[in-house]
Amino acid sequence: MNLTPLLLLIVLASILSYVHYKQKRTKISFWLFPLLFPEADEREKMITAQACRNSFISLWIMIPVSTILLSVYPMLLDSVSEFPVYLLLGVMFILITVFHTTLYKRISE
């Protein structure tokens, strides 16, 4: 078994933990939480809440669609054996896209 990815992950986690400890937890590092948006006022909190709500609603639409697509998977097993992985990555991509488009659409209003 190749341990290189695991060792790289451990080294990266150690470095990030050291940086976070060194900052005395006074500010949140962008490298630890790259998708965290600072919310300075009430308007930004409402915009972020709306984006989260839209992502959650899109998840409720994607779960049944993903279930139906997974029922087709036995027929695709020979040609596309990685189909469940592609489906999971597609769901995550759609969630992130819905969140960011809602966020930036509301900010530009």
- What is the pLDDT at residue 108? 75
Over residues 62-70, mean pLDDT? 94
Mean pLDDT of the chain: 82
DSSP the chain: ---HHHHHHHHHHHHHHHHHHHTTTSS--TTT-TT-----SHHHHHHHHHHHHHHHHHHHHHHHHHHHHHHTHHHHTTT-TTHHHHHHHHHHHHHHHHHHHHHHHHHH-
Instruction: Say yes or no: 79 and 102 in one domain.
Output: yes
pLDDT one-digit tens code per residue, 67-91:
999 999 999 888 888 899 999 999 9
Instruction: Say yes or no: 59 and 80 in one domain.
Output: yes
Domain hosting 2: range is: 1-34
Instruction: Say yes or no: 1 and 47 in one domain.
Output: no
Confidence of residue 62 (pLDDT cuts 50, 70, 90): very high
Instruction: Say yes or no: 107 and 60 in one domain.
Output: yes
